[in-house]
Amino acid sequence: MAQIINHLLDGEKLDIHEELKDIVQDPDEWLRQPNDQLGGKRPQDFLGSPEQEKPLRDLLRAIKHGMPT
């Protein structure tokens, strides 16, 4: 479990779904929709292990901090 926590930045939630609640209006819908920034894959396809979630977390960080993607 410590490895997972080390991947998080200050204030980030371990649960991606919980993190999304602070970023998008409908987290479930957002997770189901293909995303160009993820190579056309659905964000939910990246859920699972910290390694799988890295591209998703990177995208969420960019969105949250207003960085162009």
pLDDT of residue 65: 83
**31 part of a folded domain:** yes
**69 part of a folded domain:** no
Q: What is the pLDDT of residues 16-51, one digit of tens each?
A: 999 999 888 999 999 999 999 999 999 999 998 888
Structural domain harbouring 44: 2-64
* Burial group, residue 6, by CB count within 10 angstroms (0-12, 13-18, 19+): exposed
pLDDT of residue 2: 42
Q: Provide the 10 A C-beta neighbour count for residue 31.
A: 19
**Per-residue CA distances from 26 to 29, 31, 64 (Å):** 5, 9, 15
**29 part of a folded domain:** yes
How many residues make up the chain in this entry? 69
Number of domains, the chain: 1
pLDDT of residue 56: 93
d(CA 37, CA 15): 21
pLDDT of residue 66: 84
Instruction: Give the mean model confidence (pLDDT) for residues 46-68.
Output: 88
